[in-house]
Amino acid sequence: MPTPPTPLPQGRSRKLLLTGAAGGLGTVLRPRLKAYADLLRVSDIGSMAPARAGEEVVVCDLADPRAVDALVQGCDAIVHLGGVSVERPFEEILPANIQGIYNVYEAARRHGVRRIIFASSNHAIGFYRQNQVIDADVLPRPDGYYGLSKVFGENLARFYFDRYGIETVCIRIGSSFPEAKDRRMLVTWLSYDDLEQLIVRGLFTPHVGHTIVYGASANRDSWWDNSRAAHLGFAPQDSSEPFRAKVEAQPLPDPTDPANQYQGGGFVKAGPFND
C-alpha cells in the first residue's frame, strides 16, 4: 500500500464499513482502508472480490432497510460510497441514494456508530459558474437529480449530528480518476492518494461535527475554498499539471456550451429523462 506523504492523524477503527466497494473508488480504497481497521467490512449490490485477511464481504442493497441494519451492526465507523454515481432518472436515484443514505444513518443511530464519511459530490454545487470561487457555506446549487441526492445526504448528515451527535465529513469529490481527461478536470481532479488522505483525516480528526470539504488535489486553478474545513488539516500532495499538455492539445472548448460554463460540466445538461 502506498504510504500517504503527509502525516495523518493516528487511529484505527475496530470495524470499518466500506459501502460501494465494487465501484471505481471502492476498488481503489478497499486495500488502502484495510490499513486503518482491525476488520474491514466491504459491501455492494454488485459482486466483489472474495474476502481477504481481516475482511468481511457482504452483498447488500442499500435500499433494503433490514439488510442495511444488519450490515451496519457491529461497525464503529462507515465510509459511505455506495449509490448511483452519475445523473440518472429520479426513479433510479431515489432508492439507491436517498432511501439508501437514510437507511445507513438510521442503522448508524440504532447501532451507535459515531463517525461517517459521506462521498458527496461537486454536483451538489454544479450550477455555480466556473469563474466563481465558492466555499462550503454557499447555498447548494445541484445540477440534477444526482446532485440533489447529494444535497439530501449532506443535510441528512447535519440532522443526524444535531439530533444524535453522529459526526460526518461530507467530501464533495471533484473528479477522482487516474488522470485528468479534459479542461474541467484540470480544475476538479482529485488523486487517489489525496482522496485517501481526506478519508483518513475525516475518520480520525477529533471533533469534526458536520464538516463539508471539497475534494480536489493541489491543482493550479481552483473553484473551491476549503477554509471552512481547515480543522481537517487536508494538505493535497498531487496536482493535475502532469496532464495539462495532453489535455490542452484537445480542441478549444465552445464557451457558449453550458458544460463549459458551470462547475458541474456536462451534468448540467443531462436529461430530462421522462419526456
Which active-site residues does the annotation give? 146
- Given the complex with ligand NAI, which of 22 and 169 has the nearer CB atom? 22
Angle of CA points 150, 155, 160, to nearest 5°: 125
* Phi-psi category of residue 209: left, alpha or beta, with phi > 0 → left and psi -120 to 50 → alpha: left
Question: Binds 197, which of ligand 15L, ligand NAI, none (CB < 5 to 8 A, cut-off by type)?
Answer: none
Q: ω into residue 242 within 30 of 0, thus cis? A: no
- Given the complex with ligand 15L, which of 142 and 202 has the nearer CB atom? 142
DSSP 96: I
Q: How far apart are the first and last CA of the chain?
A: 48
- Given the complex with ligand NAI, which of 188 and 205 has the nearer CB atom? 188
How many residues at the interface with ligand 15L, by CB under 6 A?
8
Question: Binds 188, which of ligand NAI, ligand 15L, none (CB < 5 to 8 A, cut-off by type)?
Answer: ligand 15L
List, in sequence order, the alpha helices (H) in the chain: 24-34, 65-72, 90-93, 100-111, 145-164, 183-188, 192-204, 244-248
- Which residues form the interface with ligand NAI (CB under 6 A)? 20, 22-26, 44-46, 61-63, 81-85, 96, 100, 119, 121, 173, 175-177
- Given the complex with ligand 15L, which of 51 and 133 has the nearer CB atom? 133
Closest distance to ligand 15L from the beta carbon of 265 (Å): 6
Q: Is residue 85 part of the contact set for ligand 15L (CB under 6 A)? A: yes
Q: Is residue 217 part of the contact set for ligand 15L (CB under 6 A)? A: no
Closest distance to ligand NAI from the beta carbon of 64 (Å): 8
- Out of 19, 43, 149, 188, the residue judged to bind ligand 15L by CB under 6 A: 188
Question: Binds 209, which of ligand 15L, ligand NAI, none (CB < 5 to 8 A, cut-off by type)?
Answer: none
Strand bridging mode 13-19 / 77-80: parallel
Closest to 68 in 3D by CA, of 97, 107, 98, 99: 107
- Out of 19, 97, 103, 121, the residue judged to bind ligand 15L by CB under 6 A: 121
Strand bridging mode 77-80 / 115-121: parallel
